[in-house]
Amino acid sequence: MKMRILLILALLLTTGTAAIAHAQDPVVVEIYFPIAVDSPITETLEGYAATFEEANPGVDIVFSYEGGYSDVKNKLLTTMEGGGDLPALGIMLATDIYDLRNAEAIVPWDAYISDDYLADFFPTWLENSYYDYDLDGTAEFYGIPFQRSTVLLYYNKTMLEENGFAAPTNWEELATTAQALTTADRWGILNPNSWPYWVFQPFAIGAGQNIVSESDSEVFFDAPEVVEALQFWVDLYEVYGATPAGVQSNWGDAPGLFADGAAAMILHSTGSLPSILAKADFEVGVMAVPGKEGGYATVSGGGNLYLVAGTDDATAEAAWNFVQWLTSPEMAVDWSINSGYITTRQSGLELDTWTAYVAENPQAADAVAALEYTGREFSVQQLNDVRNILHSYILSVLNGEATPAEALAAAQAEAAAILSIYVME
């Protein structure tokens, strides 16, 4: 009896697992895709897959939707380690390039891309695409820009005009406008604190110093300009009372509050533009963040298309064909119109579909205009650790536990200690 049970157990085990393996006739290109819960994006993507499959018989495009960007990355790494079925492509944060390459999760695109192909992308999208892993002096190309965004300042144009304000052009105007528009049930401005570095970078750049350079192991957390930027954040509630004090604003809540008129201005991703436009019953203005003494600044963000390591040649070839088609100027514009992300190809701006769209939606043109002021997004080796340090100290300043200068000096010291092993002489 005992043996019989064991035999049955063993049998169940083998049949259960054997059922997983299945033959695949067409070339299947699976793509891990990060997706926020609600967006029409899935329908758009399924449409793309169908269109491409029709033109390319024998190729099956399968989108696998995940939660956020970090879910996609963690899932790819765990699946790779666990020995599960891997996708051919993943859309992951541009900034995760070092982690992904170091973990041997992605391979370069160099065999496929050409200079002509890359030349048409907005240069700012390519700032986190190269990595010289083997230190031979030539950086390989890993991330093809796809779902790209920037930080934008959204402002309630109707409300500003009714109160006699124009769009702010420097920090002083930003603060006083926000202050004047703050009432008992409305904030002048919201800087979401859920993921602070990204919203903070435009202020640092606007003061004259980005927190990162081109290098993978250098940060500038304690530069005087960066300290000034953080001080300005504090001033926004301490001096002007124009934003909630301390750590308060959620990333997810800000667009709703703005659309409901409970915030006059917010800092948010380009990706929120369609949902905000759909809900707001006033005129929405978007622009890059005003610089300290004038000028504008913002920072790039969003995800690139990565080729997953271990993809066989035939699948990689099919994946590349799909990527090439997906990132063509026509498709990039279509994607931008459907998703709200910014088109990746410069020549796309001359297409009729785009000019017609912009005539209806002037905000989209303003979002593209912000690209001119875009700095490199925060990405270094061991990004999780270094970013946590910066976040931790920024939040401690907002909580009133340290001054910006003290906190950022400590952040710099800790980050430099971690990054020291990556500094190559």
Partner 1 sequence: MNETQSFKRQTPAEWLVTGITVLLAVLWAVPIIWAVIVSFRPPDDDLGVDDVWFGNTVTLASYQKATDLAPFFPDWVGADAEGFPGHSYYANTLEWVLLALVVQVITVTLAGFVFAHFDFVGKRFLFYFVLMQMMIPTAVLLVPNFITIREFSTATLGIPKFIYYKEVSLYDTPWAIAMPYFGSAFGTFLMRQAFLSVPKDLVEAGVMDGCRWYHLLLNVYLPPSYPSLVAFGLVSVSFHWNELLWPLVVTSDKARPLTMGLLRFTQLTDIGAQWSLVMAATMIIVAPLLLAFLFFQRQFINSFLYSGVK
Partner 2 sequence: MMTANTFDLHTYWTRHLRPRLKPLPYLLLLPTVYFVYLFTIMPTFKVLRDSQTYYHPNRPAREIMSDLSLPGIEEAKRSIRGPHDVGFAYFRAMFDPDTVEGERFFRAMRNTIIYVVTTVPISMLLAFTFAVLVNRRLRWIGSARIAFFYPTMLPMVSAATIWLFFFTPEYGLWNAALRWFGYHGAENWVINPDLALVGLIIVAIWKNAGYFMIFYLAGLQNLPEDVYEAAALDGASWWVQMFRITLPLLRRTTLFVSVVAIISAFQTIDHALVMTYELVTGEADLLLYEIYNQRFILQNYGFANALTVVMIAILLGLTIINFLISERENE
Contacting residues toward partner 1, per CB under 8 A: 1, 5, 9-10, 13-14, 16-17, 20, 34, 36-39, 42, 46, 63-71, 75, 78-79, 81-85, 149, 185, 250-257, 259-260, 262, 269, 271-272, 275, 278-279
Nearer to partner 1, 74 or 213 (CB): 74
Q: How many CA atoms lie within 13 A of 100 on its CB side?
A: 34
- Cβ closest to partner 2, residue 167 vs residue 397: 397
Phi, psi of 154 (to 5 degrees): -90, 130
Q: Please choose, out of 297-305, 309-317, 364-372, 389-397, the segment that lies near partner 2 by the rule CB under 8 A.
A: 389-397
Q: Site map for partner 2, 330-369, x if CB under 8 A?
A: ----------------------------------------
Contact region with partner 2 (CB under 8 A), list: 73-81, 109-117, 284-292, 297-305: 73-81
271 binds, among partner 2, partner 1, none (CB under 5 to 8 A by kind): partner 1
Among 79, 347, 396, 403, binds partner 2 (CB under 8 A): 396
Check if the beta carbon of residue 368 is closer than 8 Å to that of residue 342: yes
Residue 179's binding partner among partner 2, partner 1, none (Cβ under 5 to 8 angstroms by kind) is none
The structure tokens listed for 320 are 């590349």
Which of partner 1, partner 2, none does residue 279 bind (CB under 5 to 8 Å by kind)?
partner 1
DSSP annotation of 164: T
Q: In 94-163, where do the E strands start and end?
A: 106-107, 130-131, 140-141, 144-156
- Are 95 and 110 in contact, with CB atoms under 8 Å apart? no
Interface segment toward partner 2; rule CB under 8 A; list 58-66, 163-171, 217-225, 381-389: 381-389
Task: Write out the two tokens for 38.
Answer: 């609600």
Taking the C-alpha atoms of residue 333 and residue 355, their distance in angstroms, rounded to an integer, is 10
Distances (CA, A) of 69 to 99, 127, 206, 270, 396: 13, 19, 27, 16, 26
- Supply the Cα-derived Rg of the chain in whole angstroms: 23
CA distance 330 to 362: 19
Please report whether residue 133 would count as binding partner 2 according to CB under 8 A: yes
Nearer to partner 1 by Cβ, of 256 and 295: the residue is 256
48 versus 63: smaller Cβ distance to partner 1: 63
Question: Could you say whether residue 194 binds partner 2 (CB under 8 A)?
Answer: yes
Q: Classify the C-alpha dihedral 358-363-366-371 as positive or negative.
A: negative
Per partner kind, with CB cut-offs from 5 to 8 A, the member of partner 2, partner 1, none near residue 85 is: partner 1
343 token code pair: 């088109």
CB contact at 8 A, 63 and 49: yes
Q: Which two tokens mark 346?
A: 């410069």
How far from the centroid of its chain's Cα atoms is residue 102's Cα? Answer: 20
Stretch of residues binding partner 2 (CB under 8 A), selected from 47-55, 305-313, 363-371, 391-399:
391-399
Tell me the sheet residues that pair with 283: none
Smallest separation (angstroms) from partner 1 to the CB of 150:
12
Contact set with partner 2 (CB under 8 A):
2-3, 5-6, 9, 68, 70, 74, 77-78, 99, 101-104, 133, 135, 193-195, 244, 246-250, 253, 257, 262, 381-382, 384-385, 388-389, 391-392, 395-396, 399, 418, 421-422
